[in-house]
Amino acid sequence: MEAQDVVEFVRGRLGLDVDEQQAGLLRESGRRVLVNCARQWGKSTVTAAKVVHRAWTEREVTILVVSPSARQSGEFIRKVKEFVRKLGAAPRGDGDNRLSVRLKNGSRIVGLPSVEATVRGFSAVSLVVVDEAARVREEMFLAVRPMLAVTNGELWLLSTPAGQSGYFWEAWRFGGEEWKRVEVRADECGRISREFLENERAGMTEKKFRQEYLCEFNEVDGGIFDPEAVRDMVDESVTELVI
């Protein structure tokens, strides 16, 4: 279908008034993208808009959206359907997956919960979005990566932090130049008031507040060793231990 700048498409066709930070995310074109953002920034809504733009403007692409639960995947697909209706189209399923939208150009968007068995059978995927990636099982993450091999597709991980463990933190801290990193703190978002943040800070521990709103990866509670210190002790040049 018609070629159009993604931000113009989202603002004009979908009616979503994105700010400059969100516009930057919409235009991001990296093959591997990490989005570490505060709660209530609108990452799911903006990502749903980006996904709809991809499916609407490219023919016969498959996009998978993975969330920690079926409820969250369903909420994401609900946003997708709302945007499709704004384009004047009737959102229909793909006939195989309960949480899905298929467009007339053959493109489809499928929402999946964090259950490895649910992704078997998908191939030639153009884009995988893992929403709340810090809370999606690693087995699921490892299961979806090979689906991008044939298309050299894109992999996006979006989340608020959940401690210094798991593949989201590993990619953020140690993933190297393979990953494009985007960080958005709540105090950088004009839609979130200082008063709200002050009330939130007063209602939870400082550690929890800094994780949820300031994008900080805190040490895992109950840990004996500093994870980064352990990582620094590993000599990755050693491939075999001979006894």
Q: Provide the mean pLDDT of the chain.
A: 88
Q: For strands 62-66 and 108-112, give the pairing.
A: parallel
- Ranges of H-type helices in 28-152: 43-57, 70-86, 138-144
Cβ neighbors of 243 (< 8 A, separation 6 or more) are none
Predicted confidence (pLDDT) per residue in 32-68, tens digit? 999 999 988 989 999 999 999 999 999 999 999 999 9
Architecture of domain 6-233: 3-Layer(aba) Sandwich (3.40)
pLDDT of the residue at 221: 59
Does pLDDT of 239 surpass 60? no
Look at the block and give the residue holding tokens 């113009």.
8
pTM (2 d.p.): 0.84
CA-derived radius of gyration, the chain: 19
- Domain extent listing, the chain: 6-233
Predicted confidence (pLDDT) per residue in 158-179, tens digit? 999 999 999 999 999 999 999 9
Please compute the mean of the pLDDT values over residues 183-197 and round it to a whole number.
93
User: For the purposes of burial, counting CB atoms within 10 Å of the CB of 166, is it exposed (0-12), middle (13-18) or buried (19 or more)?
Assistant: buried
Provide, rounded to the nearest whole percent, the portion of the chain with pLDDT above 90: 75
| Phi, psi for 32 (deg, rounded to 5) | -130, 115
Q: What residues are paired with 33 via a beta bridge?
A: 156, 180
pLDDT of the residue at 219: 84
Which has more pLDDT, 1 or 103?
Answer: 103
pLDDT of the residue at 124: 82
Structure tokens at 211: 């994780």
Task: Enumerate long-range contacts of 69-74, CB under 8 Å, 24 or more apart.
Answer: 69/113, 69/114, 70/99, 70/113, 72/113, 72/131, 72/132, 73/99, 73/111, 73/112, 73/113, 74/99, 74/111
Q: Which sign does the torsion angle of CA 127, 97, 77, 132 carry?
A: negative
Predicted confidence (pLDDT) per residue in 87-135, tens digit? 999 999 999 899 999 999 999 999 988 776 667 678 889 999 999 999 9
